[in-house]
Structure 1
Amino acid sequence: MSNLRTSRTRLVGAAATVVLAALSLTACNDGSGVNDEGSSATNSPTAGSSSTTAPSGASSSGSGSGSGSTSGSTSGSDSSSGAGSAGGTTGSGGGGAASGAEASDSAGKPVTCEGSNTKTVAAPLNRPVNHMLLTVTNTGGKTCFLYGYPAVRFGEAQAVPPVIEDSQPQAVVTLAPGESGYASVNLSATDGSGSDGHTVNSLAVYFHGPSGNESVGAGASPSLPAKGVYVDDSLKVTYWQQSMDDATAW
């Protein structure tokens, strides 16, 4: 009897073992238990991969954050670059404006009136008698200063006549392009008191610089009447004048 119970107990135990084994196999075939363990084992690298390559979930959020940071950095860089570029451009522009301004000043800076930038005309006057009017017109593109008085040489004269000191104007005669300045020449004494009178057929006019003592630039050779002009040792000239009336007043 005891042996029968023992055998039955073993049989039941064996059966229970078979049942447990069957249940275990069933669980394996079901896949839930194994997959849960597998999932938990493989989720970390998969999640890591997703965070690197997948555009969704936490990865997308991380990418958005990174993008925001990168965008901010890029924006700052672009802004800095833009400011630098703009600054450079502005600086360059300012240098061009300064250069443009300096070039303009240089182009418009007044020069000395002389033979190469003026035209000189000599015309005998009826009144006052024995006088000649010299007209100098600025033919250049810049304003010029007509300094002092004309240094005239008639014919083969070795010296230039003196200037009438009282005719000196208060300011230097300034000629804009196209404008004219004037001086008169007293050719001979009206009362016949002059000596060494003679007729001349040529005239050279030279121009003074700022110091008033030296000749500058080219001279001029205005034409005289075909019969020439009569001069004597009373020959003298006025300073350059801004108006014809001032020139012929002496």
Structure 2
Amino acid sequence: MRTNRIRTTTLAATALVAALSLTACGGNEGTKSAGPAPAAASTDSRTTESTAPQTSETTAPPAGTPAENASTPARGKHAGGNGNGTAHSGTEKAAPATTTPRTACATANTTVAVTKVSRPINHLLLTLKNTGSGLCDAYYAPHLGFDGAQSVFPVLEDSKPQAVVTLAPGEEAYAGIGLTGEPGQSKLHPSKNLSVYFAKRDGSTYDKPVDLKLPAKTYWDDNGFVTYWQSDRADALMY
């Protein structure tokens, strides 16, 4: 009887060991089917490490003071750039254009000469030269006075040019003086001196004239005239 109990006990122990062995094998297969979780975690770790910024390559330089940043031009080719990589703000002011001073032709910035011409007869020529450093406008016609006469010598309106004559430094303008009309129609007046008054833009004249010495044996009558200032000598003597 004791032998049977021992055998029975041995068989039961053997069965228990076998059952435990089968249970252990089944547990390992269940773990395998779930997938290697540690391996997945390792993969995520590598991905994070590869995309993380490297300190030695992406660290931005320290920002300067506002004054330093303002003094450094923006770089890059974009709207407002000049094509070579330097950007412009688009609000830069153009360099001021240089302008030549401009005024009316007067005694302070010109010289005037009077000469006798052979053609047409009984004519004189006034030559005005810009001696200033800027442009001057020769407005209207010169106002003439022979020997200090108070009356203004007649102006020939038909000689009015299409535009005011503008003289650059060194350039000249011309006015023709017809001394007489038809012979015998009016009394002749001998004169030795001529006063030339310059006109302003509004048509009035400057107070100070240019006083010129007339050519010898100069005579004029009440039918004489003076032309507007012309840019061409021939235009001044065509009347």
| Residue number in structure 2 paired with 1:233 | 222
Q: What RMSD in Å do the two structures reach over aligned CA positions? A: 2.6
| Residue number in structure 2 paired with 1:141 | 133
- Is the CA contact (8 Å cut-off) linking 2:102 and 2:136 kept in structure 1? yes
Which structure's residues are more often helix, by fraction? Answer: 1
Q: Give TM-score, length-normalised by structure 2.
A: 0.62
Give 1:216 shift: 3.2
Give 1:233 shift: 1.3
| Residue number in structure 2 paired with 1:220 | 210
- In structure 1, runs of 5+ residues without a counterpart are 1-64
Give 1:129 shift: 0.9
Q: Give TM-score, length-normalised by structure 1.
A: 0.60
Go from structure 1 to structure 2 and tell me whether the alpha carbon gap of 1:219 and 1:96 turns closer, same or farther (over 3 Å shift). farther
Could you tell me how far apart the structure 1 residues matched to 2:191 and 2:72 are?
A: 71
State whether structure 2 residue 198 is matched by structure 1 residue 211.
Answer: no
What residue identity is the alignment partner of 1:124? K
| Residue number in structure 2 paired with 1:11 | none
Could you tell me how far apart the structure 1 residues matched to 2:72 and 2:218 are?
A: 71
1:55-94 matches, within 5 Å, as 72-73=61-62, 76-78=63-65, 80-85=66-71
| Residue number in structure 1 paired with 2:191 | 200
1:158-169 matches, within 5 Å, as 158-169=150-161
Could you tell me how far apart the structure 2 residues matched to 1:158 and 1:166 are?
A: 24
Deviant stretches of 4+, over 2 Å: 82-87, 94-98, 216-219
Q: Deviations over 1:175-219 (max 9, x none)?
A: 111110000111122422122x2211111111111222x013743
Give 1:220 shift: 1.6
State whether structure 2 residue 179 is matched by structure 1 residue 187.
Answer: yes
3-state secondary structure, aligned to 2:206? strand
What residue identity is the alignment partner of 2:64? S
- In structure 2, runs of 5+ residues without a counterpart are 1-54, 74-87
Could you tell me how far apart the structure 2 residues matched to 1:209 and 1:116 are?
A: 13
3-state secondary structure, aligned to 1:222? strand
Could you tell me how far apart the structure 1 residues matched to 2:165 and 2:72 are?
A: 47
Q: Deviations over 1:86-113 (max 9, x none)?
A: 68xx9xxx77943xx3xx32xx032111
3-state secondary structure, aligned to 2:70? helix
Q: Deviations over 1:30-66 (max 9, x none)?
A: xxxxxxxxxxxxxxxxxxxxxxxxxxxxxxxxxxx9x
Go from structure 1 to structure 2 and tell me whether the alpha carbon gap of 1:245 and 1:86 turns closer, same or farther (over 3 Å shift). farther
